[in-house]
Structure 1
């Protein structure tokens, strides 16, 4: 199916976005009439190559001419002639501009289609998840109904047995001389009938118990354990920025209801054991079948309680809430464990002990740490958790000093690649069952200086994206590679975590090109070193170090501007010029510097009397400069002067055509700076105004290369 046909099947909300793409520069009539031909051409190449653009321009005119000859509707022919004349007048001298317009429209169409596809997939996933939840609720409900009905069955057996016991003891108390009487014979017959019915009911209840136990076993193995694994994987991905998809409260409900059914079955088996002590007989089924059932139920109870012991909140420092699992020595971090099963009353308090690096791989010599706070706390019931037990920890770490430690091959990893773990253990006795609880955090990275934070967070992202093993602490000895499709999604999450604005397809494509080169694809693989350790060619920093510095710049200095989607951000210099070339003088766009860590710059276009476009860029503003400056005010107050020329602000329209004050007006500080100008020789400021940077070596006739 052609792209245009797919577009026409979109819902109205998305069709309105498509409608916005088309105007006099590229009328929708052409897109409709020449859909297949347009989609078959390489407009991206033509946008950069004048010769290819010229060929496509004249081919488009020929296609229009052919369409005109086939059109019999007079009004439609009239409209097509007008469009043809407009295109010739607009693009005859600049066919590359037409190629860029069409290329942008097709790329935006693909983005809109991709958005629609993702929404459909999400809707399907939600539908599948809802169906799975309904199925789980139904199965657990059926099990609980069956177990409750067996309570009545056990009670019926108990009443029948009491009747038998009373009649039997009454008969035993009779005078021995009456034993051969007709009445005594009738009583013996009645007792035998009751015993036969009792035997039948005991076999029946044992059969039902066996079926319920098997149903619970199947539920736990096929669905409950899988749901827990899905939640743990979801928690892994949420730790690196993806929105949490599953609810721990829902999981807690399923675990608790299933455990309550098991406890009820255990009580029923215990009750049957008590009944046997009062009345038993030859071929009694309870002594034969009950031991195996007891063993199976005890195992299932042990398993469900043990597996319900989870880390609800992964270790995280309050100073860096967006970067959990990175711990700095000497800084307190918080974590929380929870028991999903609501337990019957226990005999004593459940004490949880925390241990650091309990399960380090044997022979691995690395930095060693110890917990400086109390490692043990008692679990408590939280009202909002429906009676389940949990405990919050506040811990700090300190490194053990060892003067004679030697390093193995594994420990040659950098500090930020060393993975550690935090373990939690508890033991308690409940209804005669000894239960050991143990769980552990996701792997941690321990740093001693905040400068190590970017590298540590890169390790956490990479591990949790690609590794579902909870404790593969030697992972970075041989890390796996990521596809661009996987990595690009995580990178967009980082921007969503630090703001409300993620990355769009164009921005991600630019990042993919920077990391993988031109003509990359979603299936291309990226090695860990290329992402985090190797420097970008020609630069003294790695790809991730560069990107992380931009995230910090946004979070500390550019958040309102970024959230308004005013920063194009990631755009190549060639694309920057292509976008600005046809715009009005004074049109500017904001992008992040490729040569400075954590820098933002802006470039504007000016057209001379001959129509020639020149591009002017400023030296990037980094966090050190923005500590004293408010970025929207820089845009508002920016002025350039040259010898003998009155200072003026060259910035008029934010790309594509938004008046500057309309875009940034609400973000300005209340008091504008007065008399601030920017010179090629010096920066003039009034007393009390902050120093604002200027255009380096600005000359009105000079074309600037963006930094």
Structure 2
């Protein structure tokens, strides 16, 4: 079933979340009429390759034009034409932006489908969708608007003050120009009295205006401390969760609006204070409040502007390799990566260049011994006004490359040596400029990075990125893995489900997560509050196996993504089910009923088990030796299921697979995924196998991991094991079988 069809079958509460995804950037009309074509394209890769994004944009417009010509409904045809024109205007100059928007929408759809299958949101997602947040943001909107209104009213007050002063100045100079002999007349005395009244009113107005300005400054200060800064911190936390597969990151434009409006209020107040400084050059007097109060207020406004602009300098896009767009914060030496920073405050139009410099590992803890790197390409770029950000400045570094400078082999910490993938680095961004006489030093940094030198380190690096961003919001805690905290199973299981919805298109349901919890923590400990250590998750081998829990799970993700994606997304693979559960599910089913599950003894393996009736009439369960990526490279797995044959007691070979659990006819479940003609070659009888090949010793595995990736090791071992069987057993449709239950 297509992803869009799955979306349309969701409950209304999930459909409301989907509705939130689509706007003028990507209208839902396009998602509807081009759903199949859209889902067949690789938008994640296109979002990081401009040439590919350009091709997809042109293809999208062509598809839309064809749909317009075929559409019979006049209104729908009119709407599609308008959308086509809007997309051309919006994305012709920025196809990467379009690809990113569509990739995000598709990814968020998968997350919503995954959440719906679990039937309840996990703790992280609930925290990201706090119902109080809407009211809080609405209050902030109103508060910013009130401040802007008060500041604009202050403009009128300062203008009125200037007019009053001009009137006083004119009358005063007119009086001074009179003949001294006329000064004792009644008219002159009345004029002097009138001038005194005007001066008193002027003094009152100056004090009143300054008092109101002081109140607004206090209000802005409170706004920044109590609301703006917390909202920014919350957005950064959401960005962390989004980096590891969590909900779509939104709110940056809203933050930018709040920051810009607040800064504009401060810029306006600075001009008002400057104007008051000009007024006292014309008229001043004893106890004049302007020279007494203005200097302190001006310093407060400058202080607020300085810190507001500094805090608005953010990393909009965390460092990421274009080859792995869904795994940010992992950088491989010698491979280009991209990152983007933005200034949330829209600055007044002035003639200057804001140059941003990148610095690697500026914030390393003192005394830390680590690998050292330098940026190979130019590390300075000028910020430009970005149209899509309503005039704010941003800069994207799209061709940065890191390279080793030197390497220290052992990382010395009080808790013992750390692995390469536990060593955290930072990428800092700096800029300097002057505005309205204020020297501002901008500085921000990315979330901690993992630097790898070989793709075999990618799974371990991604585990570190997940663990860090799940459990801390400290942006500079580079010593995190010296003593990593534990995660609750409730938190961790939610993140693991996100990995499957992000990388494999469909998240994990409650039953699958329960099996994973039991595998990691045991039968008695796999409830949501159980604590999982970093070592248990990623470093310690599963008992009796030469690999860790995460290495096993990551290899399954890789297998799905490369070889099983269509049938995984069609819900044909039960996947994570223990042998005990498998027996309870199949024992009472008709002969020929089978299910697909991932191997627990092989890295990246999938097997199927079917029900067979024994001679005494009891159910017997038969499983095949797991298929790994090396065995699935030749033929689609659906074809293997279709054409699988076994011999029994010298009879003609037959396919024992009849019904996908619980009772779906095989061709109904897999028919749409058959890709090749049915095999007509030689069919051999595979020898029975009572157990898988004996596992590799941990010592041998540790030695090999220094030179090969775990999947490369698995491939090599599988090849050796495969050669141990007879030539007949090498037919891909007749893998060795072994009785795993019911003997």
TM-score (norm 2): 0.76
Q: Identify the residue that residue 28 of structure 1 maps to in structure 2.
A: none
Hey, what's the Cα distance between the residues in 2 that align with 1:180 and 1:697?
124
Alpha-carbon offset, residue 283 of structure 1: 1.1
Q: Does 1:588 align with 2:586?
A: no
Q: In the alignment, which of 472, 480, 490 is matched to residue 477 of structure 2?
A: 472
Matches for 1:78-97 after TM superposition, within 5 Å: none
Q: Does 1:376 align with 2:380?
A: yes
Q: 1:407 to 1:602 in 2, by over 3 A?
A: closer
Q: Does 1:446 align with 2:486?
A: no
Hey, what's the Cα distance between the residues in 2 that align with 1:117 and 1:407?
39
* Contact 1:308/1:340 (8 A) holds in 2: yes
Q: Identify the residue that residue 650 of structure 2 maps to in structure 1.
A: 644
Give CA deviations for 1:227-285 in whole Å, capped at 9, x if unaligned: 00000011111111101354211111111111111111111111111111111111111
Q: Identify the residue that residue 138 of structure 1 maps to in structure 2.
A: 142
Q: 1:221 to 1:678 in 2, by over 3 A?
A: farther
Q: Does 1:664 align with 2:670?
A: yes
Alpha-carbon offset, residue 127 of structure 1: 3.4
Matches for 1:41-190 after TM superposition, within 5 Å: 115=119, 125=129, 127-190=131-194
Q: Does 1:500 align with 2:500?
A: no
Give CA deviations for 1:443-465 in whole Å, capped at 9, x if unaligned: 00101000111111111111111
Hey, what's the Cα distance between the residues in 2 that align with 1:204 and 1:437?
36
Hey, what's the Cα distance between the residues in 2 that align with 1:298 and 1:129?
30
Q: Does 1:217 align with 2:221?
A: yes
Matches for 1:331-370 after TM superposition, within 5 Å: 331-370=335-374
Q: 1:114 to 1:695 in 2, by over 3 A?
A: closer
Q: Give the greater-gyration-radius structure (CA).
A: 1
Q: In the alignment, which of 523, 532, 535 is matched to residue 529 of structure 1?
A: 535
Q: Does 1:198 align with 2:216?
A: no
TM-score (norm 1): 0.80
Q: In the alignment, which of 526, 551, 554 is matched to residue 548 of structure 1?
A: 554
Hey, what's the Cα distance between the residues in 2 that align with 1:467 and 1:146?
39
Q: Identify the residue that residue 272 of structure 1 maps to in structure 2.
A: 276
Q: In the alignment, which of 582, 591, 600 is matched to residue 606 of structure 2?
A: 600
Of 249-258 and 127-136, more deviation after overlay is shown by: 127-136
Hey, what's the Cα distance between the residues in 2 that align with 1:541 and 1:160?
83
Gap regions ≥5 residues in structure 1: 1-10, 15-110
Q: 1:256 to 1:439 in 2, by over 3 A?
A: same
Q: Identify the residue that residue 263 of structure 1 maps to in structure 2.
A: 267
Alpha-carbon offset, residue 609 of structure 1: 6.0
Q: 1:484 to 1:402 in 2, by over 3 A?
A: closer
Q: Identify the residue that residue 718 of structure 2 maps to in structure 1.
A: none
Q: Identify the residue that residue 523 of structure 2 maps to in structure 1.
A: 518
Hey, what's the Cα distance between the residues in 2 that align with 1:338 and 1:577?
56
Q: In the alignment, which of 453, 456, 460 is matched to residue 455 of structure 1?
A: 460
3-state SS, counterpart of residue 145 of structure 1: helix
3-state SS, counterpart of residue 625 of structure 1: helix
Q: 1:553 to 1:406 in 2, by over 3 A?
A: closer
Alpha-carbon offset, residue 406 of structure 1: 7.4
Q: Identify the residue that residue 420 of structure 1 maps to in structure 2.
A: 425
Q: Identify the residue that residue 614 of structure 1 maps to in structure 2.
A: 620
Q: Identify the residue that residue 570 of structure 2 maps to in structure 1.
A: 564
Alpha-carbon offset, residue 192 of structure 1: 1.0
Q: Identify the residue that residue 580 of structure 2 maps to in structure 1.
A: 574
3-state SS, counterpart of residue 574 of structure 1: helix
